[in-house]
């Protein structure tokens, strides 16, 4: 990868199109994520949020358009995809922790095997991160001894262990019991305060309103509306956006600010 373009967004999607057979999942999506900002994706299930995340991390190949990381096109032919992925941390709603490895071993596996960091350095970095997220005392535990919220926090620590340029968080509270959602969202708030660049998809509208710098509403694979939380939640311009927010409010996933 070439040196970072300081003037470019950390992540940019330009006219990105993705299909599965005859089904169009992303329709000419444009998105720019500035450094040290949080972009939140909202929309109904099936609107394209998860596919957008997977395309951004090159887990899915796009059919048209371009994706850029720090101004460099990462979807161009010949790009070292593994090198790109080393700069992007990803956390999905399923924790995907290795059950036969301890928490510490889960966190240090990629730094040691992929980034070739010495064990002592990897362990020190992992323990610092685990401590920051309130998990230092769980370092020797195995995943099945942890609550869902703790496992998700370990997954976030694992994504942070490689010091990513960009962090993608895809519905990370969807698999959690309601009482565990708050502890995971608190971690994301802390990461925002630390200036980490993030793209977050969520159904937690109150949280989106609190942490987002920009909110994008996806509908049928397109970014139908975008703006600041105040703009999009306070005065949505499209009827589909208003209808989606009404449904979320009725489901109890959106607590308006007073």
Q: Which residue has the higher pLDDT, 70 or 173?
A: 70
- What is the predicted pLDDT for the residue at 253? 55
- What is the predicted pLDDT for the residue at 251? 66
Kindly give the residue spans of alpha helices, DSSP state H, lying in the chain: 49-56, 81-85, 103-113, 119-132, 148-160, 178-193, 205-211, 229-234, 239-250
CA–CA distances in Å: residue 176 to residues 22, 149, 166, 183, 186: 33, 7, 24, 10, 14
Does the CA dihedral 99-164-27-254 come out positive or negative? positive
pLDDT at 256 over 60: no
pLDDT at 254 over 70: no
Max CA-CA distance within the chain? 55
pLDDT tens-digit readout, 20-47: 999 999 999 999 999 999 999 999 999 9
- What is the predicted pLDDT for the residue at 180? 81
Using a pLDDT cut of 70, give the percent of the chain over it: 95
Q: What is the pTM of this model?
A: 0.90
Predicted confidence band of residue 167 (pLDDT cuts 50, 70, 90) = very high
Contacts of 228 (CB under 8 A, 6+ apart): 212, 213, 214, 215
Q: What is the mean pLDDT of residues 118-146?
A: 94
Two structure tokens written together for 59: 């887990």
Per-chain mean pLDDT for the chain? 91
Two structure tokens written together for 7: 């003037």
């Amino acid at each position: 990868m070439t040196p970072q373009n300081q003037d470019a967004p950390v992540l940019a999607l330009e006219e990105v199109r993705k299909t599965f057979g005859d089904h169009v999942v992303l329709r000419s999506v444009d998105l720019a994520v500035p450094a040290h900002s949080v972009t939140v994706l909202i929309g109904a299930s099936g609107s394209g949020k998860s596919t957008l995340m997977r395309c951004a991390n090159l887990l899915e190949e796009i059919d048209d358009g371009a994706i850029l990381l720090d101004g460099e096109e990462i979807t161009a032919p010949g790009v070292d995809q593994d090198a790109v992925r080393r700069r992007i941390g990803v956390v999905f709603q399923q924790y995907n922790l290795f059950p036969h490895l301890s928490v510490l071993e889960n966190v240090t596996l990629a730094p040691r095997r992929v980034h070739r960091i010495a064990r002592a350095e990897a362990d020190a970095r992992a323990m610092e991160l685990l401590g920051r997220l309130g998990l230092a005392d769980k370092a020797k535990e195995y995943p099945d001894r942890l609550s869902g919220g703790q496992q998700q926090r370990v997954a976030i620590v694992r994504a942070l262990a490689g010091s990513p340029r960009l962090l993608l968080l895809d519905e990370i509270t969807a698999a959690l019991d309601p009482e565990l959602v708050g502890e995971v969202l608190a971690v994301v708030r802390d990461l925002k305060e630390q200036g980490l660049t993030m793209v977050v998809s969520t159904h937690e509208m109150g949280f989106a309103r609190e942490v987002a710098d920009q909110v994008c509403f996806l509908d049928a694979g397109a970014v139908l509306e975008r703006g600041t939380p105040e703009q999009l939640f306070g005065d949505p311009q499209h009827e589909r956006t208003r209808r989606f927010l009404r449904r979320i409010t009725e489901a109890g996933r959106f607590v308006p600010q007073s």
